[in-house]
Amino acid sequence: MTEWLVPKRHRFFCESKIKIMKSENKLPKRKSPRLREFDYNSTALYFTTICVQHRKCLLSNIVGTGVLDCPQVELTQYGKIADKYIRQLNDFYDHISIEDYVIMPNHIHMVIFVCENGQSRTPVPTTKANSEYSKFISAFKRFCNKEYGHNIWQSRSHEHIIRNHYDYEEIAKYIHENPLKWHIDELFCE
């Protein structure tokens, strides 16, 4: 609060009133996307979606819409860079492998396998923020952005821990059919 706006005799009252207003105006706490009690360095499969900011279609185009011309992904320069780093980081990380992925116009879906890496350098319990999985996602975004010259990604990504074989099969099917169903995708934009 700027002192010259409030006379001296009213400053204490105004400052205490602001403190009360701030304490009464409690915002609801954001729900953590992290699965409670889950060790994000343990062996697991993740279905991950990384989105472009403002859903801009920068990564690819879906081409081919005829009956005999099945829709396919055609990567843009941004998409080619993302594809390059998915492949390079897949080779770089010993405990992580990309099982499947698709680069859509404004998002990327990946199935990421994290193999338990033995002794963790992170404190126990392992949080999502210091896990190998998070380091991989962060490195991927950082390397892409460096080559792009600016940030194109949303700050967070969405992950789903794949819990069983049926879950895995459904997600693999979704990834492979995503280009075919782009026009009805919840992230679709022109």
Phi, psi of 35 (to 5 degrees): -75, 120
* Of residues 133, 140, 131, 77, the one with CA closest to residue 108: 140
Q: Is 87 helix (H, G, I), strand (E, B) or coil?
A: helix
Q: By residue range, what is the domain housing residue 153?
A: 32-184
In a domain, 21, yes or no: no
The count of domains in the chain is: 1
Closest CA to 93 of 115, 111, 75, 109: 115
The string of pLDDT tens digits covering residues 35-55 is 666 776 678 899 999 999 998
Cα 111 off chain centre by: 12
| C-alpha separations of 187 from 53, 92, 109, 147 in Å | 12, 30, 12, 25
39 within some domain: yes
Q: Which of 164, 61, 177 has its CA nearest to residue 109?
A: 177
Residue 127 lies in a domain: yes
In a domain, 12, yes or no: no
- In a domain, residue 5? The reply is no
Q: Is residue 1 part of a domain?
A: no
pLDDT in tens, 47-89: 999 999 998 999 999 887 656 667 788 999 999 999 999 999 8
In a domain, 20, yes or no: no
Let me know if residue 18 belongs to a domain.
no
Q: What is the CATH classification number for the domain harbouring 50?
A: 3.30.70.1290
**Which are the contacts of 83, defined by CB distance < 8 A and separation ≥ 6?**
75, 103
Q: Specify the higher pLDDT residue, 160 or 129.
A: 160
CB neighbours of residue 12 within 10 Å: 10
pLDDT of residue 146: 96
